[in-house]
Amino acid sequence: VLATTRYGETGSSRAPLLIAHGLFGSGKNFGVIARNLAKNRPVITVDMRNHGASPWTETHTYPELAADLAEVIEANGGHADVLGHSMGGKAAMALALTHPALVGRLIVADIAPVAYGHTQDGIIEALEATDVASATSRSGADTLLAQQLDDHSVRAFLLQSLDLKASPPRWKMNLAALRANMENLTGWPGGGTPFDGPALFLRGGDSDYVTDRGEDAIREFFPQAVIEAVPGTGHWLHAEKPGQVTPRVAEFLNG
């Protein structure tokens, strides 16, 4: 069972919004957006398997991630709107294509239902090469990680998944399993039935994750899809411009 955090009124008559984060992340990545959206509806963020406080498993495939999300929805009333970013977006799409009765409105952030040619093995190697066990603070861990990764924003994102309270400090990610399943993570399983419900696809205006080929695939699997760019943002559009993303998501959820 995935670890979850719930925001908003527990007795609300509205279906919850379920939020699924991307690779190397956790539910806390969406804390600001979740708190804002929870003013009008319950919001549930999850830690995906092999991330955060959720169980570690040897396998990490999109059918499994979709089944994990389905289990959370079934435990919370049996129907939800779903928002997913990157890996979480692919999991959300797989959920909608295979368990459509569970999903009301679908929001996908900067990912398409296609296989990608890139790999994230370099990030895993950087994390494994950083001696976080010796870190006594997040800033100290950042100094260590900077020897492997130049990009400050990427380091800040990754350091959200460092457990400094553990003895010794450790990453809250199953790096071995993520490395072993990288082909599954960058791939796309296919299958399922086109999802006929409302769908909003937000892409980073400066990101290359949703190409023309990706848009064609989106329209094939999600015929009701609205595809919009968020100007001046890259792949982590929700972190870069929450003030633009949150109201657009709220507008879409409110129909």
Task: Based on the residue annotation, tell me whether 85 is a catalytic residue of this protein.
Answer: no
Reduced to 3 states (helix: H, G, I; strand: E, B; else coil), residue 218 is helix
Question: Which residue among the candidates 54, 86, 161, 207 is catalytic per the annotation?
Answer: 86
Q: Cβ(45)–Cβ(17) under 8 Å?
A: no
Place of tokens 């079934």: 74
C-alpha–C-alpha distance, residues 112 and 33, integer Å:
22
Buried b (16+ CB within 10 A) or exposed e, 167-191: eebebbbbeebbbebbebbbebbee
Q: Cβ(111)–Cβ(85) under 8 Å?
A: yes
Q: Cβ(86)–Cβ(109) under 8 Å?
A: yes
Task: Based on the residue annotation, tell me whether 86 is a catalytic residue of this protein.
Answer: yes
C-alpha–C-alpha distance, residues 25 and 159, integer Å:
9
Nearest to 88 by CA among 114, 55, 111: 111
What does the angle CA 94 – CA 27 – CA 38 come to, to the nearest 5 degrees?
95
For CA atoms 115, 116, 119, 123, the dihedral sign is: negative
Question: Which residue among the candidates 60, 85, 235, 238 is catalytic per the annotation?
Answer: 235
Q: What are the C-alpha distances in Å from 162 to residues 170, 180, 182, 249?
A: 6, 21, 21, 29
Active-site positions read 86, 235
